[in-house]
Structure 1
């Protein structure tokens, strides 16, 4: 038995006709430069040669076996007649059978074979043994059995402990860049949060709770004359509380997509109320309902009309004709542009309510509204809507004249009355306009 640090060698058998019966053979080549120093010495055995490696980490390993036939020659002499044949097992599994170094690589030429194995009990066994084949007395007695020049094993899943300077520099630079990005993202987040908090603080929000009975009284039991438009949840009604506070009340409709979404899922995005505000704003400016249902005909939408008039550059046509010319054109156009932004098809492009308030107050510039080409109706539908609204206005004028004639005959009314087609009363000389001017 021979051994070294963590390795043990077992060499069995006896060369009967060998003089010194040694297990190490060194080549006697005159020109040793034909082989590297690693292959100029080899260990031999008449029967078997087994290497045991201990205290190894469990895992996958790569085994390299280095061979060179240095005991035979490749000339025409008697020394070229020898043949060496043996087998190799690794961890009890045969990996080479009837292996002949001279046939694989040639005489006095090196060859390396690679194998993959697994260590599970912290030990490795590599065994070389004679196959009982080949010559035993040529070129001279006792020249047979396994021969090995060197063995190398490497942990397959191990990584080098030495990290190159380039790798270290790359890691440091990547870490610095990542840290800078995180700091910038954090500053942007803090800035947005502070901006939102400031906007909400400037709104000076005040909330109140009302009973259903109060709302019914304020809206006159949701009378049609108090209806001011259609919101995302359904119809919107104007109401006046006992303290003369004017309120707007949404009534949930079973046909409302937003109402159904809230009933099913219990939540809505803040963009839903923004959309409703835009619809109501368009109805207030135009004095018309958002949706017009015509029997046996297609449905007309005020929002479609507004978008097409925007693309035609004729938004002023949307203004309620009953206002005549006595209105602030700049403020009306500002209201229409904000309403179009609030009713954008893509909810992510709609502004927040705080931004809407800042736009209407003139604190921030109103962005340009860009229509979706797929949402714009054609000229034919525009003309149908224009004719419908002109007919409605003509009917309202006729109804107003009829009522005036009836008042002249029957005497003055003692209670107020308004047309069911009016969305809201028009008071050009109200105190609101006095404050604005």
Structure 2
């Protein structure tokens, strides 16, 4: 028994021992594995060190720089986003490969004043989910390697100096939930691929230089809660894409060229909306009750649209700030700050009321009023007044500039009941918030526009740029202004450029001004006044009318300026011939003859750019260093007063990147002068079939076609009045330094009202570019410009004029050749043989557009906005109907309409306005001839003038 017992006990002990050995082996293995701490992926370590080294940035002391980066605060619960001590900061995920490998998932580098481009090494951090490069001074384009970070949920690029378009590789980041790209210098179209980011909740693009339109694909962003886009420079958009964004909390589409009826929007489904800004668009209709009744809506900005009708009686319980075209709300405000005597001996009255987001007031003398609209998004309680104790080096009036008035959106000053006449307006600025020291705060940019009497005087005005980047330095702008209805308006407008959020989560952007003064010239010509400093007693030229914010001001709605208004009456003098010029809405600056004489070195022959039928064009340099082209109309010129005034009135009333800019004019000494911007690369006709060395490739030619189309679309559909140019041709398209096209020569332009279907008018223009219905019947619509555009685009693609006598008979007339080649399925033979590389699909598309633009019936031709959309593939091509091709008269040959750049540039209108059916062909080059592309009767040829005399 004992033996059995002993034997049995020995077997049980052996089994137990075996299990103990196995258990200990497990424990030992676990301990061994535990002792093997997870290590950061060495590729990511190298990439991180390279990135920080490139930017000269050292990791914080909280990092384990002697060991593995994925340790300490990188793996514990520390909040690196809100701890300034841990900056730069990373977070890691060490759950990979059975907890032996760590990957960097979060990198925060914001507010480190990093400079230079983003290294391509960033693409090595492939497990990154949150990347913040915001609030630095990084520059250059975003590297394409960013597309390798396919796990990214949040990408913050805001408040830097990034340039160029957003790379296409970003479309691979399909998990994005937040994209912050505001306050940079990005350009190009807003990417259509944003529509594939189905999880996107925040998209901020304002404060850049993007082109429109807003892509319709954004309608796929059903989860988005904050969408901010502003200041699009081209294109038009509807609001249809907003319909599916039912999670919206903040929607800002400010100055985005949006059109459409507001009542078409179903606001009742935007139940979470708290902030809506659709200011400065072209929205029509009434304000729907569903919008004002949104229960969470706090701020509503619909100013500067085309809204009409009555306001609904009831508004939602949360709505506290509202701007509807002008202003609302009545409050009282007064102040007692003493006036300041300036070094110019004028008394500047204070304006130091901290006004609300949409308000207006009038001084107690009812002489001046001010309006302010907008709310600082990141700091709703921010003050509209800023102060500095610093002294200013370039002024004796430091006290005037130590305070400034800001506005988050729009700041207007109104002169009320002023005497009609001419005024000298001086606006004085100083940047007192963004410092000169090399910190992230100094990268702040304040960019706004200046309008006076509705005319854009300064586009993208940047105070610090005018002072070579220095703060606490005074900048002054001086303008000649006409008052015709006892009313003056000075408007400072933030279109969305610059930075919106520097300092972080505070409001210090938008227009800012420190002081202004207004002096009356009476009824005299301010241009003449520049050269006449004598006459009259100074004491008789001033009156003690001080306008501004004074004690006991009544605030009727909300606005303001810290600084001053000064009113002075100066000596009176009149000038014959000025009345009509000064009555033009949006008139340009009036230069004295002495200024132009000095700019052109006394009209030196060495400064002549070229000559044309209406006189020479001179290259000039103004006193501020800017280059101009001065068109001098000769005494024998056939351009009359009407064409001269038409050109000034038309081009002064429109502003577009594809229209030539008229700086001003001079009508002294019976020698009319027009002062244009100087365009380095001359005219399109010289670039295409002249003797220049530009050698335009296909991409450039395509961009030129798009640019011309956009300029015409603006004239026809987007400017304040409908305008038909009437003389679109290659010589009337100028090219700037970057080969951007600008339409010029508005002497024959015609305005007409929206309710008019057409104008019946005497025919004017250039043979070879005239639409059939216009040339035959004087029936003028925008479709005449569409036809001419088709001819110009044809010349761009073919690299030859629309008529070339040196070619065979069946090839002399370009338009006929294009149609014949299209009908014979040989479209690509149209292309300039000098183009060795081209996009065949784009070429065919452009040629098809040319054909529909040159159809014989105007109703068959597309609008220019549709042409733009077809070129950019936003809409499908219109089918080419070969039955609508125009007819030709090959036996009728006249001189070519493709006159040279300088001949066109130097003509007030490059072709003469004629009565009846007379047309000037517009060229002095007798070796070239053209045909007129339409059917004429046998008696018609005698009705056309052979050219400019």
- Where on the TM-score scale, by shorter chain, does this alignment land: which range? 0.3 to 0.5
- Give the TM-score of the pair, scaled to structure 2: 0.17
Tell me which of the two structures has the higher relative contact order, counting C-alpha pairs closer than 8 angstroms and 6 or more residues apart.
1
TM-score (norm 1): 0.33
User: Considering only CA atoms, is the larger Rg found in Structure 1 or Structure 2?
Assistant: 1
